């Protein structure tokens, strides 16, 4: 008899409140367009209303649907490409900063069969649906890596780990949640502090990449560069008027 198949991991939806608002505004726009097209508005305003409704519906609705696609499909594809940026031996200790429900954490754990993967977060539900340590631990179980995954509650501005604890630090779409540049700088300093000499950092985010690259360089990291696909950044920056500019910054601690 074959062993029972585990349910698929569930990494939640990012920024669920923003997604809900986008879809509601998009639906309202389409409703205005449809009622104007059906002749339910006075003739003088029907034309402009139909155009405005159609634009609102397609733009907001499209972005809301894209955010769902990104959380459910796009991020799962991207995580492997991001982890390919680290030359793994399989024995590393890796830290996922702002791990949420464990998207990067569990995939990193698969790369280190003889190592360990630690995820740290403060579990803000506004940033990811169903965000709690139990959900992360359950995803590790479903991915078959629970034996080498540890989930820790802690703030990225004050990581609860000793200096030089990790061979690699990864972080995906988490640091921008710190709204003050000084706080983001503290988080970068903590990532550099907990890295071992020779350790690698892979920081993927939706904003602030020039700041991150300059910050890591000032902290003494070397080989600091942007590693995200330029076409995606340019396209999404244009479609969101600069609100969403996904890219990646990588670097290495000398030693």
Q: Sign of dihedral through CA atoms 185, 230, 171, 65?
A: positive
The only residue of 49, 78, 139, 172 in contact with ligand SAM, by rule CB under 6 A: 172
Residues 127-146 touching ligand SAM, rule: CB under 6 A, are 127-128, 131
> With 0-12 CB in 10 A as exposed, 13-18 as middle and 19+ as buried, what is 223?
exposed
Instruction: For ligand SAM, give the closer residue by CB, 178 or 194.
Output: 178
Least Å distance, CB 103 to ligand SAM, is 4
Least Å distance, CB 122 to ligand SAM, is 4
Residue owning tokens 């992360």: 136
Q: Does 173 bind ligand SAM (CB under 6 A)?
A: yes
Instruction: For ligand SAM, give the closer residue by CB, 148 or 157.
Output: 157
DSSP alpha helices (H): ranges in 93-239?
Answer: 103-111, 133-142, 181-194, 209-218, 230-239
Copy the structure tokens of residue 79: 């995580």
* CA atoms of 206 and 149, how far apart (whole Å): 26
Residues 215-244 touching ligand SAM, rule: CB under 6 A, are none
Least Å distance, CB 233 to ligand SAM, is 17
Instruction: For ligand SAM, give the closer residue by CB, 157 or 208.
Output: 157
For residue 32, give every residue at least 6 positions away whose Cβ sits within 8 Å of its Cβ, in sequence order, or none: 49, 50, 52, 53, 56, 57
Nearest residue to the partner ligand SAM, using Cβ: 100
Instruction: For ligand SAM, give the closer residue by CB, 92 or 171.
Output: 171
DSSP sequence for 11-76 = ---BSHHHHHHHHHHHHHHHHHHHHHHTT-S-HHHHHHHHHHHHHHHHHHHHHHHHHHHIIIIIHH
Q: Cβ(14)–Cβ(127) under 8 Å?
A: yes
Q: Does 124 bind ligand SAM (CB under 6 A)?
A: yes
Least Å distance, CB 219 to ligand SAM, is 18
Q: Does 106 bind ligand SAM (CB under 6 A)?
A: no
Least Å distance, CB 83 to ligand SAM, is 13
Residue numbers at the binding site for ligand SAM (CB under 6 A): 11, 14, 75, 98-100, 103-104, 121-124, 127-128, 131, 155-157, 172-174, 177-178
């Amino acid at each position: 008899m074959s062993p029972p198949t585990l349910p698929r991991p569930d990494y939640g939806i990012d920024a669920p409140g923003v997604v809900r608002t986008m879809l509601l505004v998009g639906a309202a726009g389409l409703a205005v367009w449809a009622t104007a097209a059906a002749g339910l508005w006075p003739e003088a305003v029907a034309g402009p209303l139909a155009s405005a409704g159609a634009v609102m519906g397609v733009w907001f609705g499209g972005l809301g649907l894209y955010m769902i696609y990104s959380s459910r499909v796009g991020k799962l594809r991207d995580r492997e490409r991001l982890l390919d940026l680290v030359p793994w031996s399989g024995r590393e200790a890796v830290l996922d900063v702002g791990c949420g429900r464990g998207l990067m954490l569990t995939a990193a754990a698969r790369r280190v069969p003889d190592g360990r993967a630690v995820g740290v977060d403060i579990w803000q539900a506004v940033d990811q649906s169903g965000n709690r340590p139990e959900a992360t631990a359950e995803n590790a179980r479903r991915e078959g890596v629970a034996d080498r995954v540890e989930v820790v509650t802690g703030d990225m501005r004050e990581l609860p780990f000793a200096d030089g604890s990790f061979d690699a630090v990864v972080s995906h779409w988490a640091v921008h949640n710190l709204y003050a540049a000084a706080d983001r700088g503290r988080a970068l300093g903590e990532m550099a502090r907990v890295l071992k000499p020779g350790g690698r950092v892979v920081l993927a985010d939706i904003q602030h990449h020039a700041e991150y690259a300059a910050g890591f360089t000032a902290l003494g990291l070397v080989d600091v560069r942007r590693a995200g696909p330029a076409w995606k950044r340019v396209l999404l920056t244009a479609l969101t008027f600069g609100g969403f500019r996904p890219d990646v910054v990588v670097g290495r601690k000398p030693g």
